[in-house]
Structure 1
Amino acid sequence: RPSAPASSRASQQGYRAMPGGRYASRSGGVRPQQRLTSVRVGDVAPRERGDRAQKTYRRYVVRLAVIAGIAAALIIGGIAVYGSSLFAIENVSVTGVEHLTSADMEAMASVPADTTLLRVDASGIRNSLLQNAWVQDVEVKRVFPNTLELAVTERTIKATVEVPTDDAKTVRKWAVASDHMWLMPIPDQDSEAGKKTSPKIYEDAAAALSVVDVPYGTKAGIGTYCTDATVNNALDIVSGMTTELSGRVKTVSAAGAEETKLVLDDGTEIAFGKAENIRDKERVVLKIMEENPGVVYVNVRVVERPTWRSLS
């Protein structure tokens, strides 16, 4: 078999791999064989996820550091402002008072002269004001930059009660609220105490229900709730009325629960008794008065057996 030409053999040998990781070039020189590396497809995704996780972590650390720095600055600034005289209280505003004066409220609030809106003890001021019998509720508001507002809800006079004195020789008129709290003894308007009392108190007392003939031994105290059964019975009767009759009751004689008697604005007397079946008793009284002109007395202590008396 004829042998291949020398030039052809040399050409074929130039592309043959040589021992030791070398191969011959076409020029006849020998150069190192390049190593080929391979990566499995399954390794790519975990590696990319790791890179992303590291980047996310670094961003998280940077953000956390920024937030911590801002928080520290705010805390330091807040402490500085809290301890400073910024927002010092220069005005105390009082709203909602009629029976108490603004001066009375400011004195009871006792706001320290060197305090600020940030340091003021609003809860303590509120609790202090609630100790006054006239104050039913109060909201302490901070009005920046320098005003403290006391928004008061006052109790009102439901009735005046003639309470016997300890020596039983006379009576003392007391104001009582709708929730049966004793508000204050009402001084004579021409006395020294009366001149210091709000005119609104005398105005409301004159228009309020008058409870008289209260038994000896009835106790009244400012800021305490009435515990006398006869007085509470009288107040409950008028509070429980739902017809126009309630507006006509001017005086209640409260010698005892069974003996409770109402006196209307025209002088008509109604023996009402206990604060029971109030609406039924109202209905019967109104019907009797409508059907019997000139009636001056109605007894509904036992609502099923009413009696009455008229001038005609």
Structure 2
Amino acid sequence: MASSSDRKLNSSASRASKPTFRRAGGRSGAPAKPQRNTVAHSKSVGHARQTSRPVVGSQLGNRPAAKKSSRPSVTSKPVMGAKPARPMATPKPSTGTKAARPGRTLGASKPRSLTSVPATAKKPSGKKGVNPLSSLGAMANKTSDAASLVTGKGKIVGGVLAVLAVLVVVAVVVINSGLFTATDIQIQGSEHVTKHDAIQLIDLPEGTSLFNVDPDQITEDLKQNPWVSGVDVQRQFPHTLIITPMERKVIAIAYISSDDLAWAIGDDDTWIAPLSTSVEVDDQGNVITTGQGSNTLTGIDAALALAKHYGAVLLTDVSADVAPVSGQAVSSKAVKAGLDYVRGFSSEFLGQVKDISTPSVEAISANLNNGIEVSLGDSNDIVKKERVVTKLLSQVEGVTYINVRSPGNYTFRNAPTS
């Protein structure tokens, strides 16, 4: 006969064979409690394990209940290309309060530090990061090196300036001292500027030395004589100063028959000075300046001898209204046209010219040493006119007159030959 305890076990075991189901939408809105399953242990059956299953169809507030899983939660791997979610900052615990250590989920990735994740993730550039402190240090080093270089150059420049300052002071002392005072002044004379005349014109201040002498002032003083075009100043240490006036070169002698004057004209088209029309010459007709010539020439013959003496060309038939002034530029158009021919002709052809007649610009003509007259006209096409005259003289005999006012349509006359 079984005992009462055995009966209870048997009845409990018989009841646990079927699970109880409750239909959704019961009387009350409270969720149905799943019935606990018990496992019967007996010696005959052994240690059989039965896994309890959740109640199907239960509701919580008319919503299906979430399924429970016995598997541990694993953090899912983010999809490639998706932006990682920004982790929430953990509030810093107040002083004296120990922050609770967050639980760690199995398989979850280690959270990143807030300082290593920007608000917007950027694509890595592939370059190594630059430490701003090291950049500042490099800049400081470069600045220091530049400052050292500038300081070094500054010292060099300062030293050079100091040396220059010393040299300037020494130069000023030497110049203003009497070591190189010009005590021996030698003034050379020229053909038309005597030594006496030059001494009268030059005004050297007291204390003039070889360093502070002013050549420009000496030139200006001597140019009061119209023959002077410049001055050569030489220094011979320690006390000698040599001054030599340089005369204008005479290129033409203009004979004004109305006044019986012969005016020298310089190579800068300047009236220089009148010359005496009574000169002494030797047997060859050369001018004698010593006053011991064998013959005396006057008038136009004296002017012609003077032109030969200066290696110049005689300009004749100069209009009476021409009024030369020493040191003034030539203003007569006829005389200037005659000077154009003097410059335009070759030296070989000028050697054949006795004189050039300049009554007017259109009536300019040249008288050659062989007696041939050449009508030139204005001072255009000078080279072409010379070429025509030279060709005629070489090819035609007995020529007495040539007209080259229009060199492309020239005419000539020649004496008949027997």
The 8 Å contact of residues 243 and 282 in structure 1, kept in 2 or not, is answered as no
Q: Counterpart of 1:205?
A: 307
Distance change (3 Å), C-alpha of 1:86 and 1:296:
same
SS in 1 for 2:356: strand
Pairing 1:250–2:343 present:
no
Q: Which moved more, 1:214-223 or 1:201-210?
A: 201-210
Q: Distance in 2 between matches of 1:225 and 1:161?
A: 14
SS in 2 for 1:244: helix
Pairing 1:284–2:388 present:
yes
> Residues 188-234 of structure 1: CA distance to partner in whole angstroms, max 9, x if unpaired?
5579xx9899x9x9976334311111111102111111111111111
Greater per-residue strand proportion: 1
User: How far is the alpha carbon of 1:135 from its aligned partner?
Assistant: 2.9
Residue 238 of structure 1 aligns with an amino acid whose one-letter code is V
Q: Distance in 2 between matches of 1:50 and 1:271?
A: 88
Pairing 1:186–2:275 present:
yes
SS in 2 for 1:174: strand
> Residues 57-107 of structure 1: CA distance to partner in whole angstroms, max 9, x if unpaired?
59966984x656645544443333232222111334567955434444444
Q: CA RMSD in A?
A: 4.1
Pairing 1:295–2:399 present:
yes
Q: Distance in 2 between matches of 1:232 and 1:58?
A: 67
Residue 260 of structure 1 aligns with an amino acid whose one-letter code is I
Q: Distance in 2 between matches of 1:92 and 1:202?
A: 39
Q: Which moved more, 1:127-136 or 1:296-305?
A: 127-136
Distance change (3 Å), C-alpha of 1:52 and 1:239:
closer
Distance change (3 Å), C-alpha of 1:82 and 1:121:
same
Distance change (3 Å), C-alpha of 1:288 and 1:243:
farther
Q: Distance in 2 between matches of 1:295 and 1:172?
A: 33
User: How far is the alpha carbon of 1:256 from its aligned partner?
Assistant: 1.3
Mapping of residues 143-158 of structure 1, within 5 Å: 143-150=236-243, 153-158=246-251
SS in 2 for 1:158: strand
Q: Counterpart of 1:29?
A: none
Q: Counterpart of 1:273?
A: 377
- The answer for unaligned runs of 5 or more in structure 2 is 1-133, 281-287, 294-302
Q: Distance in 2 between matches of 1:270 and 1:69?
A: 74
User: How far is the alpha carbon of 1:120 from its aligned partner?
Assistant: 2.1
If the length of structure 1 is used for normalisation, what is the TM-score?
Answer: 0.67
Structure with bigger RCO (C-alpha 8 Å, 6+ apart): 1
Distance change (3 Å), C-alpha of 1:52 and 1:104:
same
Q: Distance in 2 between matches of 1:94 and 1:224?
A: 26
Among all aligned residue pairs of Structure 1 and Structure 2, give the percentage whose two residues are the same amino acid. 28
> Residues 245-292 of structure 1: CA distance to partner in whole angstroms, max 9, x if unpaired?
221101111111222121111222112111122222222222222233
The 8 Å contact of residues 163 and 220 in structure 1, kept in 2 or not, is answered as no
When Rg is computed on C-alpha atoms for both structures, the one with the higher figure is: 2
Q: Distance in 2 between matches of 1:81 and 1:196?
A: 47
Residue 220 of structure 2 aligns with an amino acid whose one-letter code is N
If the length of structure 2 is used for normalisation, what is the TM-score?
Answer: 0.52
The 8 Å contact of residues 259 and 273 in structure 1, kept in 2 or not, is answered as yes
Q: Counterpart of 2:212?
A: 119
> Residues 143-197 of structure 1: CA distance to partner in whole angstroms, max 9, x if unpaired?
4322334465432111111125xxx4x3211111233211110025579xx9899
The 8 Å contact of residues 193 and 225 in structure 2, kept in 1 or not, is answered as no
Greater per-residue helix proportion: 1
SS in 1 for 2:171: helix
Distance change (3 Å), C-alpha of 1:76 and 1:288:
closer
